[in-house]
Amino acid sequence: MRKYVIISAFAMALGISCATNPFTGKKTLNFVSNDQIFPMAFAQYKQFLTENKVVSGSGAAQQVQTVGNKIRIAAEKYLNSLGQKEYLNGYAWEYKLVENKEVNAWCMPGGKIVVYSGILPVTKDEAGLATVLGHEVSHALANHGAQRMSADQLQQLVGIGVGAAVSGQSQEKQAIFSQAYGLGSTLLVTLPFSRSNESEADEIGLTLMAIAGYNPDQAITFWQRMSAQGGGAPPEFLSTHPSDATRIRDLKRLIPQAKATAAKFGVVYK
């Protein structure tokens, strides 16, 4: 009986938790509202800043602010053109440069962004930084954080259902089913889902940087520099991110579309 209750709850969750994202035009599964996730994200961001060295008053810190604001304005222009101005309600954009040798940047749900100083030698200029910030801002705009939380909840729910379905089996068989579900859900659901989010953020970010006045061709140059960093990445099917080669290939395909969208806002590239 329990497994049928779980299946019914699962079906109801799917039915009521899908919304269309204006940036992608896709319906996304989301059990977590902005009212729930934003306060948590903002608190974590504030805590992070107290525990790390924030760089201020430098040219690099100013560049992060300048490029970040241009990307934000581009997002607002795009949403306004779709009649979706209210979509950004609750977002509180903030950009910080943090002293850290790691080649990384990230964005919390709701628009709290951190750039590590270690990535600046790779970004090199505003266009390179716009590639990074466009991508990170796009994670927030596409609600990838909430989607990830929703997917985790869904996997847990299905896992309970799997456990209930094999509850009459021996402990050895239950353990085998549990391990198989864990491995299968990681390889077939979690990792592809994460790579899909990354590719989606690349696509949205490319459009935003183009609207913001940065030639999207420069995204290719940035990712070529990133690829040259090396680092022994795992095979793509075992990674949370697409390979650099896949990213570059996909971005090349998407550049004409990004330029065409930017042209609608009066920004023209050859």
pLDDT in tens, the chain (270 residues): 444 334 444 444 444 456 677 777 777 666 667 888 888 889 999 999 999 999 999 999 999 999 999 999 999 999 999 999 898 999 999 999 999 998 888 888 889 999 999 999 999 999 999 999 999 898 888 876 656 665 555 555 544 444 455 455 555 544 443 443 333 333 333 434 466 778 888 999 999 999 999 999 999 999 999 888 865 444 333 345 567 888 899 999 999 999 999 999 999 987
Catalytic residues: 136
* Amino acid sitting at position 202: D
- Sorted by sequence, the CB contacts under 8 Å of residue 194 that are 6+ apart come out as 148, 240, 241
Query: Cα(225)–Cα(202) distance, rounded to whole angstroms?
Result: 16
Please give the DSSP secondary-structure letter assigned to residue 157: H
- At 79 the pLDDT is 93
- Both tokens of 182, joined, read 């864990």
* In the block, residue with structure tokens 């697409």: 242
Handedness of CA 215, 221, 225, 231 (dihedral sign): positive
Alpha helices by DSSP H, listed for 82-143, are 120-123, 126-141
* Amino acid sitting at position 112: K
Residue 196, CB-side half-sphere exposure with 13 Å CA sphere? 15
- At 41 the pLDDT is 87
Q: How many CB atoms lie within 10 A of CB 108?
A: 23
- At 170 the pLDDT is 54
> Of how many residues is the chain composed?
270
- Both tokens of 105, joined, read 């940047």
Query: Cα(89)–Cα(237) distance, rounded to whole angstroms?
Result: 36
- At 19 the pLDDT is 66
Query: Cα(265)–Cα(262) distance, rounded to whole angstroms?
Result: 5
Please give the DSSP secondary-structure letter assigned to residue 178: H
Q: Could you report how far apart the first and last alpha carbons of the chain are, in Å?
A: 63
- At 15 the pLDDT is 45
**Nearest residue to 221 via CA among 192, 191, 247:** 247
* In the block, residue with structure tokens 């799997």: 162
Contact assessment for residue 141 and residue 75, using Cβ atoms and an 8 Å cutoff: yes
**The model scores a pTM over 0.85:** no
Domain limits, the chain: 53-269
- At 28 the pLDDT is 65
* Residue 105 φ/ψ, nearest 5 degrees: -160, 155
